[in-house]
Structure 1
Amino acid sequence: MYVILVYDIEERRVSKMLKLCRRYLNWIQNSVFEGELSEVKLKELLGEAKGIINKDKDSIIIFSSRQEKWLDKMVVGKEKNELNNIL
């Protein structure tokens, strides 16, 4: 599957997360990675990432799809921009 991973974590944990993500994906820009991953490799990456982040302060957002033009969004940890559907 094609994956775009974006993270927002406290500075003291950034270098660990950067090293982890570079093992699995291509670095695009600060805190942004992309590439092809199997479901098993994605679960492996997330398992290691959960050991690095603070779920109350940090977040990882993963967009995944079989095709690049259709993406699903998954948030691990605290979502920084909680949207309300109130009009």
Structure 2
Amino acid sequence: MILAFLDIEVVIVVVVVVVVVVVVVVAVVVRLLNGINIIIVVVVVVVVVVVVVVVVVVVVVEVVVVVVVVVVVVVVVVVVVVVIIID
């Protein structure tokens, strides 16, 4: 496990950055396509977030609470950003 050698803070920052990048990319793609279903976009984003979180929790079990908090914040931001860009 490569992530096991990193600091917990580094892992959390990497997760947040990855999620934000994915959200931005998805938002741009949606903006360009304009015809895509909002439900599909939300599902894709949620799946990506869940996968990343599961990986981090498996690697760094002792920061489950922190990860959960970060995930909740990120998910809220994701939903808001996607809704704003769609509208």
Larger helix fraction of residues: 2
TM bracket (short chain): 0.3 to 0.5
Larger Rg: 2
Q: Give the structure with the higher percent strand.
A: 1
Relative contact order, higher structure (CA 8 A, sep 6+): 2
